[in-house]
């Protein structure tokens, strides 16, 4: 299946199984022979790197590889600089290409490198986690973290193609699957309808996953085409993220993004219920989904600690924070919440 995104770049998202084997031929339809750097992490590359490397070489690309230690702790300016220097050492020029093979960490980092190396070279997203397939590989947000907070340095920079091989989910650990479902519950709350039913009925690696990925991507395509640079509508995709980013940082990134998003959904639903905005019935539905996908964590962080981090967030403005407040499934609104009120 192919879904086209018509943003500042027009590109196709290809979804299927066993697509890695033909990735070289696939890319050669849109990119002439050039240098290609596969950027990946030390877990994903041993699993899928050779297949991608061979396919690209068979399609006559000149291929090199850069891998880094897996995990959020690598999504920083040090790794960013190492990759930039590696590209320069390999004599990469403006017409060359990056292939980001991995989860959201690889995609965000490689995308940011692509957006800045020689003022921008092409890149292809090849997401291998559920989270990256339904969210981070689509829409062109690229970033690295600073010690002060998540995604504080980055750019909007669209890939020239996204290739989603659902077969790579076969090796994804259950914990990472669950991580993806954190963002999945977010989409269900934003979108309601078919996606909400699907998520309520259950999405597992063997049930409903193809349809789930497709529906999430179709929704994200709609948002990105309307508001690529997040001046308004795209902010909806930050549902749950205000608290999620704080939780990730406070846990020193031991709590993964999607799980943190699920906690953020719970907190913002609590706030919305207490403020009389969210109806009890919708609130209960959120709890059912969080239970169904076992989104509970042992750690607890105080609201004051979270708010200290939130004040540094991109979404903070003076004594207010821009948050997405759920009123019902399919009715989430962007509102300014006073930090003082949140404390209460
Ligand atoms: P990740 O990239 O760290 O991947 C999670 C783990 O799974 C890693 O250890 C990785 O090595 C491993 N892995 C990946 N694919 C695998 C496979 N097929 N089989 C076995 N292991 C595999 O994390 P993630 O959850 O994919 O992404 C989280 C990141 O995405 C965060 O940094 C978050 O901020 C970012 N994000 C960005 C956007 C965006 O729009 N750009 C949206 C959501 C999240
Ligand atoms: N993941 C949020 C966005 O892409 O806008």
CATH number at residue 73: 3.40.50.1970
313 pLDDT higher than 80: no
Residue 110: its pLDDT value, please? Answer: 98
Are 329 and 186 in contact by the 8 Å Cβ rule? The answer is no
Residue 90 Cα to ligand 2 midpoint, Å, equals 32
Per residue in 121-177, pLDDT (tens digit) is: 999 999 999 999 999 999 999 999 999 888 999 999 999 999 999 999 999 999 999
Same-domain check for residues 205 and 82: no
State the residue for tokens 């659902």.
Answer: 166
Same-domain check for residues 36 and 126: yes
Using CA atoms, how far residue 240 sits from 41, 182, 190, 261, 262, in Å, is 27, 10, 11, 5, 7
Residue 131 Cα to ligand 1 midpoint, Å, equals 6
Per residue in 15-34, pLDDT (tens digit) is: 999 999 999 999 999 999 99
Using CA atoms, how far residue 194 sits from 163, 183, 245, 285, in Å, is 24, 16, 28, 15
Site to probe by mutation for ligand 2, drawn from 127, 129, 141 as the one with most ligand atoms within 8 Å of Cβ, is 141
In order, the DSSP letters of 233-269 are GGGGGGTTHHHHHHHHHHTTT-S-HHHHHHHHHHHHH
Structural domain boundaries, residue 330: 174-343
Residue where a domain terminates, one of 143, 171, 199:
171
Same-domain check for residues 141 and 111: yes
Return the structure tokens found at 15.
């979804």
Cα separation, 66 vs 49, whole angstroms: 10
pLDDT > 70: what percent of the chain?
100
Measured from the Cα of 235, ligand 2's closest atom is: 5
Quick one: the chain helix, strand, coil %, rounded to 5? 50, 20, 25
Same-domain check for residues 152 and 179: no
Same-domain check for residues 333 and 311: yes
* pTM for this predicted structure: 0.96
Are 339 and 319 in contact by the 8 Å Cβ rule? The answer is yes
Mean pLDDT across the stretch 214-224? 97
Give the number of whichever ligand sits closest to the CA of residue 74: 1
Same-domain check for residues 29 and 63: yes
* CB 315 near ligand 1, within 6 Å: no
Based on C-alpha coordinates, what's the Rg of the chain?
20
Per residue in 253-310, pLDDT (tens digit) is: 999 999 999 999 999 999 999 999 999 999 999 999 999 999 988 888 999 999 988 8
| Total of domains in the chain | 2
Residue 342: its pLDDT value, please? Answer: 85
Q: Count Cβ atoms within 10 A of the Cβ of residue 28 and give its class: 0-12 exposed, 13-18 middle, 19 or more buried.
A: middle
Same-domain check for residues 72 and 131: yes
- Residue 292 half-sphere exposure toward CB, CA atoms < 13 A: 17
| Strand, coil or helix: 6 | strand
Residue 131, Cβ neighbours under 10 Å: how many? 27
Same-domain check for residues 167 and 180: no
Site to probe by mutation for ligand 2, drawn from 238, 265, 334 as the one with most ligand atoms within 8 Å of Cβ, is 238
* CB 313 near ligand 1, within 6 Å: no
H or E element, residue 327 = strand 320-328
Cα separation, 277 vs 245, whole angstroms: 23
Residue 70 Cα to ligand 2 midpoint, Å, equals 21
Output the domain CATH number for residue 215.
1.20.1090.10
H or E element, residue 310 = helix 303-310
Per residue in 37-93, pLDDT (tens digit) is: 999 999 999 999 999 999 999 999 999 999 999 999 999 999 999 999 999 999 999
Measured from the Cα of 234, ligand 2's closest atom is: 5
């Amino acid at each position: 299946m192919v879904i086209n995104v018509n943003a500042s770049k027009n590109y196709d998202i290809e979804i299927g199984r066993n697509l890695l084997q033909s990735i070289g031929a696939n890319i050669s339809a849109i990119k002439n022979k050039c240098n290609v750097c596969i950027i990946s992490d030390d877990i994903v590359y041993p699993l899928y790197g050779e297949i991608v490397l061979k396919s690209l070489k068979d399609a006559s690309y000149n291929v090199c590889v850069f891998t880094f230690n897996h995990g959020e702790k690598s999504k920083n300016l040090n790794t960013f600089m190492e990759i930039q220097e590696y590209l320069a050492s390999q004599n990469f020029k403006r017409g060359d290409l990056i292939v980001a093979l991995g989860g959201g960490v690889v995609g965000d980092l490689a995308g940011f490198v692509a957006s800045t190396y020689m003022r921008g070279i092409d890149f292809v997203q090849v997401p291998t986690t559920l989270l990256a397939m339904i969210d981070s590989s689509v829409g062109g947000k690229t970033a690295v973290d600073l010690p002060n907070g998540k995604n504080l340095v980055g750019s909007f920079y669209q890939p020239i193609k996204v290739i989603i091989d659902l077969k790579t989910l076969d090796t994804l650990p259950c914990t990472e699957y669950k991580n993806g479902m954190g963002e999945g519950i977010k989409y269900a709350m934003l979108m309601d309808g078919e996606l909400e039913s699907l998520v309520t009925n259950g999405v597992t690696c063997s049930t409903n996953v193809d349809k789930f990925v497709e529906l999430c991507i179709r929704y994200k395509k709609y948002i990105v085409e309307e508001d690529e640079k997040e001046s308004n509508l795209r902010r909806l995709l930050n549902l749950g993220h205000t608290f999620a980013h704080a939780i990730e940082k406070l846990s020193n990134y031991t709590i993964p993004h999607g799980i943190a998003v699920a906690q953020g959904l719970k907190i913002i639903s609590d706030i919305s219920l207490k403020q009389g905005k969210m109806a009890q019935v919708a609130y209960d539905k959120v709890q059912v989904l969080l239970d169904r996908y076992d989104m509970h964590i042992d750690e607890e962080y105080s609201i004051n600690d979270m708010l200290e981090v939130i004040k540094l967030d991109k979404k903070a403005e003076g004594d207010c924070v821009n948050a997405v407040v759920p009123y019902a499934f399919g009715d989430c609104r962007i509102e300014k919440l006073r930090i003082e009120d949140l404390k209460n």
